[in-house]
Amino acid sequence: MKYKSSIALFSLRIALGWLFFYSGYSKLTAVGGFSAKGFLLNLHGPFSAFYLPLAGNPVVDQLVIWGEILIGICLILGLLVRFASFWGIIMMFLFYFAGFPPEHALLVNEHIIYILIFIFLMTSNAGHLWGLDKKLEKLLPQFKSLMG
């Protein structure tokens, strides 16, 4: 990969990692705590029946918080980038369908863009660029599919 492309890919990985880390961290440290209950109870789309029973569930709230934090840390460190990206895709699909149809977009909103970025990170060995995946892959080659 050319140097300029490497810088762009590295920057994209770090930026998305920071976005996720800080989103989770701000929920973790929010005054009064974080709950997805208010959001989930106000859903009116075709998939709301799936999401309504999750409202107020503390496990769901913790999964959102720690999912964002851990995905962010993995991307920033270049550690288990494929694995983190897979879970990022799952999370973004869940967020996308929770608010479907998008209020301010025609089918494609920020969640779809994040999904596309995660797919790009998964398929471009982003964790090998100034990340821990390359080193970890040498130590644990049997887990190569999780790294990249």
Domain boundaries, the chain: 3-146
Q: What is the DSSP letter of 124?
A: T
Q: pLDDT by residue (tens digit) across 34-64?
A: 999 999 999 988 999 999 999 999 999 999 9
What DSSP line would sit under 82-120, residue for residue? HHHHHHHHHHHHHHHHHTPSPSSSSS--HHHHHHHHHHH
Angle in degrees, CA 14, 99, 146, rounded to 5:
35
Task: Write down the residue that tokens 């090998």 correspond to.
Answer: 128
Q: What confidence score (pLDDT) does residue 128 get?
A: 93
* Nearby residues of 4 by Cβ (< 8 Å), 6 or more positions away: none
Return the amino acid letter for 77: L
**Stated pTM of the model:** 0.94
- The sign of the torsion formed by the CA atoms of 111, 93, 46, 65 equals negative
d(CA 125, CA 68): 21
d(CA 68, CA 111): 13
Q: pLDDT by residue (tens digit) across 101-119?
A: 888 889 999 999 999 999 9
d(CA 87, CA 119): 11
Cα dihedral 56→89→128→143 (10° resolution): 80
Mean pLDDT of 81-95: 98
Percent of the chain at pLDDT exceeding 70: 100
Q: What confidence score (pLDDT) does residue 44 get?
A: 87
Q: What confidence score (pLDDT) does residue 105 get?
A: 87
Mean pLDDT of 67-95: 98
Confidence of residue 68 (pLDDT cuts 50, 70, 90): very high
Q: Write out the two tokens for 136.
A: 């970890």
Q: Using an 8 Å Cβ cutoff, are 43 and 98 in contact?
A: yes
pLDDT score of 1 more than 80:
no
